[in-house]
Amino acid sequence: MNMSIINQMIPDFSVEAFHNGEFKTITSEDVKGKWSIFLFYPADFTFVCPTELEDMAKIHDELLALGAEVYSVSTDSHFVHKAWHDASEAIGKVTYPMLADPTFKLARGFDVMIEEAGQALRGTFLANPEGIVKVAEVHDLGIGRSAKDMLRKVKAAQYVANNDGEVCPAAWEEGQATLTPSLDLVGKI
C-alpha cells in the first residue's frame, strides 16, 4: 500500500450506487463538504463482508450526527448491491450508499486493488470535508474491521481538525485528555 495517500485528495470518480432503494450516480464532488468514510470490501454475497457492513450500519446514525457519511465499495455492480441488499438480513440494514466499482477505478485510486482477483482488499479511508484523506487502514481479506474503532477515529480526526496544535494519544476517546506537542513533553511521556 502506498501510504502517501495520507493528506492527499481522494481520487476523482463517478460511479453508480445503490442507496435507499434507488440507483444513483455518486461522484467525488458529491462526497465533499462532509467527512467521508470509504469502506472497501472484496465482494457481495460473501462471509466477513456482511458482518462488517452490518457493523457499520449499527453506528451509521452516530456518524451522520457527526457530519460523516459512509460509502461502502466493492467491484460488484450496483445491480448486485441491490440483489444482496434484498437477499441478506444483515445487508438489508444498510442505509448508506453502496458504491459499485466494476471498472476498478476507485480500488486502484485508493491502492487496494487485488488485480489477479478483480477485488479490493479491506480498506477503510476517512476523508475530511475538503476530500483530503486523514485515515487509511488496510486489512487482509480474512480480518474483519471494527466500526466502533472507526467511530473513534472520526471523532479524533474531527477533534484534531478543530483544535489546532492538539493531538490525540493512543486509544483516545472523546472527552479524554489530548496532548499539545512541545519541547516540555519530550522524554516525559
Side chain identity at residue 104, one-letter code: F
Side chain identity at residue 25, one-letter code: T
Distances 128 to 47, 99, 137 between C-alpha atoms, Å: 30, 19, 15
- The helix or strand, by DSSP H or E, that contains position 159, with its residue range, turns out to be helix 147-162
Grid-cell match 490525540, residue found: 168
3-state class (DSSP) for residue 31: helix
d(CA 173, CA 152): 6
d(CA 62, CA 149): 13
Is residue 69 a contact partner of residue 31, using CB atoms and an 8 Å limit?
yes
d(CA 51, CA 36): 20
Please tell me which residue in 5, 39, 49, 68 is annotated as part of the active site: 49
The conformation of residue 176, written as its DSSP 8-state character, comes to S
Residue 168 appears among annotated catalytic residues: no
Residue numbers annotated as active site = 49
